[in-house]
Amino acid sequence: MKISDLTYEHFSHKCKYEGIKIELAQSVISLHSQYPDLLESVFSLYSDYSVSEAIADFKVELTPPLSIRRYIKKQVCFKCNSKEPFMPLPRAQAFPLLEWGLNWTATNHINTHLLIHSAVLEKSGNVLIMPGTPGSGKSTLCAALTYRRGYNLFSDELAFVGAEGDLVYPNARPVSLKNRSIDIIKEFAPDIVHSNVIHDTIKGSVAHFKPPANSVKNIKPARPKAIIFPKYQADLPTKQLKLMQKEKADTLLELSKHCFNFSVLHYHGFEILGKLINNSNCYSLEYGGDLATALKAIDEIME
C-alpha cells in the first residue's frame, strides 16, 4: 500500500497517534508528528512511497521543545530513536529539518554501504555520480536531469556504493534545492510538485521537489559509469563549458573527502572506493549559467 492510497485524515491520524512506517529504499522509518504543515508536505512529496508493515529501523519524531519555545517564538526538534542530534530550529522549518534529519540518520547509522555525498542518477542501467561541495550546482543539475532528461533519480544527496564497488544502490527522496536554483528548476520543470519555499534557513531559502514515481518504485542497483565533479562558475560566459577528464589517483583522493563513513569502513572503504574509480570514467565539469549546455555534455558522457 502506498501513502497515496490513504486519505489525508487517516495518514495524519497515524502520524499523530501511532506513527506511520514509510519504506525508503535503504531503511524503514516510523514518522511521528502532529504538525499539519509538515504532514501535508510529507503526504504530498512522499505519496509514491510504500507504507511498511516491517519493524522500523528508525523512529523519527518532530516535536516541540520542552521549553518556553514551544509557546513563544516556536521551535521544532528532530529526534531519531529518541536522540536529538540538532539544536531546535524555528517552527516553520519543520519539513527541511525532517529532510536534513533523515540525511543525518542515514549517514550516521548505515555502514553496509560506502556513503558518498553526491547526487546520483541512473540511465539505461548506468549510474552517474556527481559529488560536489555546497554551491557546486550538483542538485540543480540533478533536478534538471531527473525532471527533463528522463534520468532515474537515485539520490540528490547520497550515493550508496555496494561492498564490491561495482553497484550503486538507489535511495530516492525529495530533491532539495536552494536559493536561485528553486526558480531555475521551477521554470525548467513547471509541472513538478514541490514544498513551500522556506526562507531564512541556515542554507538560505529551501524547497523540496517530489521525486518521480518511477524513481521511487525502482529499487534495483546499477553499475557505475561516470563520476563528474560539477562546478557552477558564475564568471564563465553563460554557454561556456569546461569538461575535462580527471586522473584517477586524483579522483580517488578527492572522492574520499566526500565520503561520510570512510573512517568507519576503514580499509574496506578504501577498497570499495578504489574499485568504484576503476569502474568509472572521471571528469570535472565547469559550467556557466546555461543548464542545457551542461546537460548536453552529461548526456554525451552517459551515452
Partner 1 sequence: MQDSKPLLTLNKVHPDIGETFFQYSDGLVIYHRTSKTMLRLENLLSEIFTFCLDHPQGLSDADIIKLKCGESTSKNNIADINQALSGLKSKNIIVNENIRPDI
Only segment of 17-25, 83-91, 180-188, 271-279 that touches partner 1 (CB under 8 A): 271-279
Provide the sign of the torsion angle of the four alpha carbons 239, 190, 102, 52, taken in this order. Answer: negative
Task: Report the 10 Å Cβ neighbour count for 220.
Answer: 12
Going from the C-alpha of 84 to that of each of 65, 72, 78, 79, 206, the distances in angstroms are: 11, 21, 6, 5, 22
Residue 7 burial class via C-beta count within 10 angstroms: exposed 0-12, middle 13-18, buried 19 and up: exposed
Measured from the CB atom, is 194 or 246 closer to partner 1? 246
Choose, by CB under 8 A, the member of 252, 258, 289, 293 that binds partner 1. 252
Measured from the CB atom, is 17 or 267 closer to partner 1? 267
Choose, by CB under 8 A, the member of 218, 243, 270, 281 that binds partner 1. 270
Residue partners of 185: CB distance under 8 A and separation at least 6 = 140, 143, 144, 147, 177, 192, 209
Which cell numbers in the block locate residue 179?
A: 536559493
Choose, by CB under 8 A, the member of 125, 250, 296, 299 that binds partner 1. 250
- Least Å distance, CB 244 to partner 1, is 13
Choose, by CB under 8 A, the member of 1, 7, 267, 300 that binds partner 1. 267
Catalogue the E-assigned strands of 125-280.
126-131, 152-155, 158-161, 168-169, 175-178, 198-201, 204-209, 223-232, 241-245
Choose, by CB under 8 A, the member of 40, 274, 284, 290 that binds partner 1. 274
Asked whether position 254 contacts partner 1 by CB under 8 A, the answer is no
Q: What are phi and psi of 149, to 5 degrees?
A: -120, 5
Per the CB < 8 A criterion, the answer to whether 119 and 130 are in contact is yes
Choose, by CB under 8 A, the member of 50, 108, 233, 256 that binds partner 1. 256
Measured from the CB atom, is 249 or 292 closer to partner 1? 249
Q: What are the b/e assignments for 110-120, b being 16+ CB within 10 Å? A: beebbbbbbbb
Measured from the CB atom, is 71 or 267 closer to partner 1? 267
Question: Which residues 220-249 are close enough to bind partner 1 by CB under 8 A?
Answer: 247-249
Choose, by CB under 8 A, the member of 10, 239, 266, 296 that binds partner 1. 266
Question: Which residues 116-175 are close enough to bind partner 1 by CB under 8 A?
Answer: none
Choose, by CB under 8 A, the member of 17, 72, 202, 263 that binds partner 1. 263
- Contact positions toward partner 1, by CB under 8 A? 247-250, 252-253, 256, 263, 266-267, 270-271, 274, 277-278
